[in-house]
Amino acid sequence: MRVSLEWLREYVEVDVSLETLVERLHSIGLPVEQVERVGDDTVLDIELTANRPDCMSVLGVAREVALLLDRRLRPPVPKAAARPSAAAPRAAVEIADPEGCPRFTARVIEGVRVGPSPAHVQRRLEASGIRAINNVVDVTNYVMLELGQPMHAFDDDRIAGHRLVVRRASPGETLVTLDGVSRTLDGEMLVVADAEHAVGMAGIIGGADAEIGPATTTVLLEAAYWNPRSIGRTARHLGIRTEASARFERGTDPAGPPLAQDRAAALLQQWGAARVLRRMVDVYPGRLRRPAIRLRPTRTAAVLGIDIPKDTMVRILRALGCTVADGAPLRVRAPSFRPDLVREEDLIEEIARIHGYDRIPLTMPRGDTTPGTLVPVLLKDARIRETLARSGLTEVLTLTLEPAEAAAQGGIPPVVLQNPLVADQAALRTSLLPGLLDVLSGNASRRVEDVQVFELGRVFRAAQNARPAEQRSLGIAVMGRWRTGWNIPTDQAAADFFHLKGILEALLRDLGVREWQVAPLGPQDPWTGAERPWWHPARAAVLIVAGRVVGRFGELHADLSAARRLPHRAYVAEVDLESLLPMVVLVGAAPELPRYPAVERDIAVVSPDHLPAAAIEESIRAGAGPLLEALDLFDVYTGPPVPSGHRNLAYRLRLRDRDRTLTAEEAEEIIQRVRIGLQENVGVQLRE
């Protein structure tokens, strides 16, 4: 907000140096970003937060300065002459959507002589960053900057039926706006229309059909209060941001339109630009009244850590424009120009802001304290990050929004935004994999070919007649070498399917998941039922825990790898954390070391190539029972004398009883049960 110091002094006495004024404004949350000399004037460029629309005017800033310097505020008091006849016969107003437009005012001004504005008005407008056009347009901008109430001026002779209607646009309706652009509207947008068609985008920009021109002799001035959400949505959808929309979408003063009408009419009369004024039409179907807020002085003292006298609180609040009813507690009604004051904490903040943050003493915390802790889900997230970092992966963050075609790539209907800011961010992601592939290809394009990354994030699923469902997910992507060194052969350094599988198994062990299975990934995705788009037809698998598929992993499909121009084979995984984490058991302390020795035995089997190793391992575990502590596949062999189409798998079993030492006979009995189970249940050949 650019504020002319000359203009500011018209409403409040500023008898301190510029440096002191800037410092004091900063102390109450109105930091001055830049001080600029414009001719004989000084302009303060003040940074405003979204919750202070009242300061988007010279009068609003003057109100704050008057509080700071303990000076009297001198607001403008417009006195516009008016003819006795009412405006209704010449200008009629209808509000078809009271929710979108709670209040609308209109005033007809006759005998208008369009010409340049007074020199001082042009200087103030240009110092504020607005180009002077003519006296009628300039008066609307001048009042907007002065009072914070945007206005619009129509050529009344170009308003069909001399009637304005506030309504929703018809789907597909078009409007040529003042910037010469033809815009297509939808049914959610508010427009100001005459008896035939739309003549302006409500609260944003006027239409070219009723523009003020040199031949204009009768002006219809409009000032309204608009629903902030409606204006903000329309402005974003159409890609327009005007001085008016910036104020309306933050929330203007519902009591402001009549004051702005009187001020604009008085200025036009004062400048000699109009000689006949009619009375104002004010359509206000449901009056907006601010509810009373309870303010407890004891609560204020507890929050701020300082005792401020109640009289001081009352004085500050009344100076801010609040009405205060004394009592215990105080009952405070915020002024209509402060939409941000809605609860007790807001009033306490205002008291602290004006009283001075620097006057609140530094104190040590008192009372009982509770040590901080993390909820279980965050503890599990921390364990996942720690394990994957130890495995050599780097955490990344990718965008939640992506192109709609990318979101639909996994066979899941995407959640498409109604008003995306850009086309490439039109849908919520249904998978973490597109973002991780962007990371791989982005690094590869910069000649970084060895990439090992993971991401913890949320994916989204569309729901019928409900908000999209959010699901927590883990994505992993590896490409190139996962370890380097002069003593490491190249063929042992590249990441492969088993490297990714080992990362997932290490993660499950660290999460306390005791049993899991790995099975081939079929032609359809187990989560969506659609054809799997990501993985290689023969080098992909699913991760099964407690009979439920919780993850998919494997080599990236060659077509996707080529489309991304990846220099090496890439391996990706996605884990559904919503399904996995309920099965996680985090162990806080290290397990007790075993007191009795283990017995190790080896078993070798010859199995067909098509038989999954998981089926053999499942049979071994079932036969060995609870005394099996570990099962390791330590050798895989193909070739003579193993028959063609078969392979030799060698397993090492570690058996241990926690309460005593196993005897050789007991161990042999267990191994014999395992052998019988393998022959009867799996049908493999045992080797001695």
Spatial contact of 611 and 519, defined as CB atoms under 8 Å apart: no
Which among 241, 275, 251, 351 has a CA at the least distance from the CA of 306? 351
Burial 567-587 (b: 16+ CB within 10 A, else e): bbbbbbbbbbbebbbebbeee
| Environment class of 364 (CB within 10 Å of its CB; exposed 0-12, middle 13-18, buried 19+) | exposed
| The residue count for the chain | 688
Tell me whether residue 349 is annotated as binding. yes
Spatial contact of 108 and 136, defined as CB atoms under 8 Å apart: no
Query: Distance between CA 499 and CA 247 in Å, rounded?
Result: 57
Angle between helices 135-147 and 58-69 (to 10 degrees): 30
Tell me whether residue 688 is annotated as binding. no
Q: What single DSSP character describes residue 133?
A: -
Query: Distance between CA 67 and CA 267 in Å, rounded?
Result: 28
Which among 593, 598, 550 has a CA at the least distance from the CA of 573? 550
The three-class DSSP label of residue 22 is helix
Q: What single DSSP character describes residue 148?
A: S
Tell me whether residue 346 is annotated as binding. yes
Backbone φ and ψ for 214, nearest 5 degrees, come out as -60, -25
Q: Which helix (H) or strand (E) holds 317?
A: helix 310-319
Query: Distance between CA 517 and CA 536 in Å, rounded?
Result: 20
Which among 224, 287, 255, 203 has a CA at the least distance from the CA of 75? 255
Q: What single DSSP character describes residue 593?
A: P
Q: Which helix (H) or strand (E) holds 540?
A: strand 535-545
Distance from the Cα of residue 366 to its chain's centroid:
36
Output the furthest CA–CA distance in the chain (Å, rounded).
118
Spatial contact of 614 and 633, defined as CB atoms under 8 Å apart: no
End-to-end CA distance of the chain: 87
Q: Which residues are documented as binding site for Mg(2+)?
A: 340, 346, 349-350
Q: Which residues are documented as binding site?
A: 340, 346, 349-350
